[in-house]
Copies of this chain bind each other. A is one copy, B any other.
Amino acid sequence: MKNMKQSRKTRYTQMALQDSLVELMKQKPIAKITIKELCENADINRTTFYAHYTDQYDLLQKMEEECLSFAREAISNLIGEKDQNEMMKLLEEVFEYIIDNRNHIRILMSEQGDINFQKQLFAMIYESCGISPYPDKNVDMGTKEYYFIYAVSGSVGLLQHWLKDDVMKPAKEMAETIYRMACFTQFTGCCTVQLSEDR
């Protein structure tokens, strides 16, 4: 309680800086944004900025972590779910969340956004998921991995495209499309890309 109240000021400062960054990143690449203008835009003293972050990238990364932790949990839930219908529901919820937070996520996922975020996202997915080989002599392990990469890249690319739309297609439709494509890519690879929770 004590700490809560004490950090009210702090939380405002951080929020102001975050919003300022998002706003500026709509206009120009982060590399061209100076700490000075970032602070002036947020109406926060430059010294205060340095009390919290080291530079623009540090601030951005803090924002990314919030988003990544949501993604981590979503993936974890998807892995645990074996029932098709339940899986679809989970997927739909994910896309609902994205719609609700589209302002921030749009920036993170856009071409303007930090490529590091997408890198982390991929790394997280690969880490969470294991590729379990399905016996088939025609396709070796390395190639199976390639099919998996293809599916993940395709899905994330589609997600980016979806976010660009001003009138975003409903979450349900996205969930169905992604689900169908990922399944078929598995089929194509003649292997089962199993989401295993035991590693």
Which residues of A approach B to under 8 Å, CB–CB?
30-31, 57, 111, 113, 115-116, 118-119, 142-143, 146-147, 149-158, 160-162, 169, 173, 177, 180-181, 184-185, 187-189
Q: In chain B, what residue has the closest Cβ to A120? A: B111
A158→B154 CA distance, assembly (Å): 9
- Which residues of chain B come closer than 8 Å to A155, judged between CB atoms? 150, 153
Residue among A143, A147, A157 with most chain B CB within 10 A: A157
Q: Are A152 and B146 in contact (CB under 8 A)?
A: no
CB distance from A35 to the nearest CB of B (A): 13
* Min distance, Cβ A34 to any Cβ of chain B, angstroms: 12
User: Is A153 within 8 A of B158, CB to CB?
Assistant: yes
Minimum distance in angstroms from A1 CB to a CB of chain B: 41
Kindly provide the distance from the CB of A27 to the nearest chain B CB, expressed in whole angstroms: 15
Q: Is the CB of B143 within 8 A of A152?
A: no
How distant is the Cα of A113 from the Cα of B118 in the complex, in angstroms? 13
Within the complex, what minimum Cβ distance (angstroms) separates A163 from chain B?
A: 12
CA distance A147 to B188 in the complex (A): 15
